[in-house]
Structure 1
């Protein structure tokens, strides 16, 4: 074989190997599912939480309903649909819910393959799970979805911000708090892999698009917090999302905040933002 042909094959191999690797192993590079340990069960009992079971195209799913700590009757003032970051689980939110308004209730949603949920995560299956979990909660509370919907708000961290916004889009929810959101998964790929490999992204989360839909609804109100020292998702992405909707989205930079310590650093501020979003929407 001529030398030029051998060189051409070598160049093709060098180019195609990372392409095939990224296409074949992309999910493993994006998602990091975890299972629950025994101590989570005692935490759930302490919070008087209840499992909300439902089924999607991915099979059996489980979310967790945490009722208000107050004893007021009827539907809760606000039910926060909570979506955790990539390496976290839904019940990890329990570490902070006690810091927040006791009138709030929470539906803590895991992604397919996370926690007690079957299946595989993707933008489509995560979107499906968020909507189905809220509908299952309506049935769990013995109330029509049309009556529960005005009580809903979304809360998400990192990947959970994308899940929160997709769920908001599905359910016509127009209030929420987002922590460390990215703009698009392709933009994240550009940071990690560079151009042009970033365009091999098959998991096309697009927070620009979903936030645009949610922010355009009457009475919409969102708050974004982002650590100034975030080493995973640069703060400029949160700033960019907020700047596109100055009338409905407020941005709060967190001095000294990183990606994984944000909730620990500003839990009280997050709680106040949740209260403000709720009050402003009700005006």
Structure 2
């Protein structure tokens, strides 16, 4: 009987060691697989031909001798401005083309690019590259329109990129669909047992950029978002200035806000301002 406490302690110690080992192993796996968990690109062959119902022009924008960005300009009759559209973390331009009529019917051309390693874009994907390429897209927009005619729009992953761009360049308005406070904030919601701020290569700290945006800001977010929790986007209200707005879509999920008439009503009214 005297040996029983010692046996129990050894057993508990063994369990603790296994638990620590499992925690560390899972952390290592998360660290090395983080890019695959965050990004889900679909690569397209160089000779791939886009086919869209909306009039468009394909563009290949050189960054340097080795890197080129694949982009598409969706056209509108008598365009009053341009939307710079930064898409989510999945697939390529093909996935997001269905949203372009929301803007073209309101008199806006839309310029959308594929991030490096997405679609026909080349080069290595890094956070710095995302920001640099966004600036390049803005430069292209400025050859056609003045800053007060340019709307910057970010969807999901693209919201951090869009906000960073709007923090350093003038625009008519910044519109964010299902935005996040930061990438590590979203990761912490899913599994709050790791120090993601130290682990993640991609930070995309939207909360750092939003206070520097002088243009009016509009956020759309659904309460049932299964990918970017509503709470993560709602925290951005802390940095709102007078005139900024959060439109809450009750029951809205991450990829279905376009199914709600409320979203279209508000988006149309904003684009007509």
Q: TM-score range by the shorter chain?
A: 0.7 to 0.9
Distance 1:51 1:270, change over 3 A: farther
Describe how 1:1-283 pairs up with structure 2 within 5 A.
13-36=21-44, 41-43=50-52, 46-56=53-63, 59-68=67-76, 70=77, 72=78, 76-100=79-103, 101-138=105-142, 141=144, 148-173=146-171, 175-199=173-197, 200-214=199-213, 217=214, 220-266=215-261, 268-275=264-271, 279=273
Task: Quote the offset at 1:262 in angstroms.
Answer: 1.4
Deviation at 1:111, TM superposition (A): 1.1
Give a deviation string over 1:133-179, Cα, whole Å, max 9, x none: 2223445x5xxxxx633321111111111121122224233612111
Q: Tell me which stretches of 4 or more aligned residues in structure 1 moved more than 6 Å.
A: 6-12, 37-40
* In structure 2, C-alpha distance between the alignment counterparts of 1:160 and 1:190, rounded to whole Å: 19
- Distance in 2 between the 1:28 and 1:273 partners? 38
Say whether the 8 Å CA contact 1:48–1:67 is kept in structure 2: yes
Q: Is the 8 A contact 2:86 2:158 kept in 1?
A: yes
Gapped runs of 5+ residues in structure 1?
142-146
CA-CA distance at 1:12 after TM superposition: 6.7
CA RMSD of aligned residues (A): 2.9
Shift of 1:196: 2.9
Following the alignment from structure 1 to structure 2, what is the Cα–Cα distance between the partners of residues 59 and 183?
Answer: 30
TM-score by length of 2: 0.82
**Within 2, Cα distance between the matches of 1:118 and 1:222?**
31
Contact 1:19 1:197 in 2 (8 A): no
Structure number with bigger Rg: 2
Q: Unaligned 5+ residue runs, structure 2? A: 1-9
Aligned residues: 257
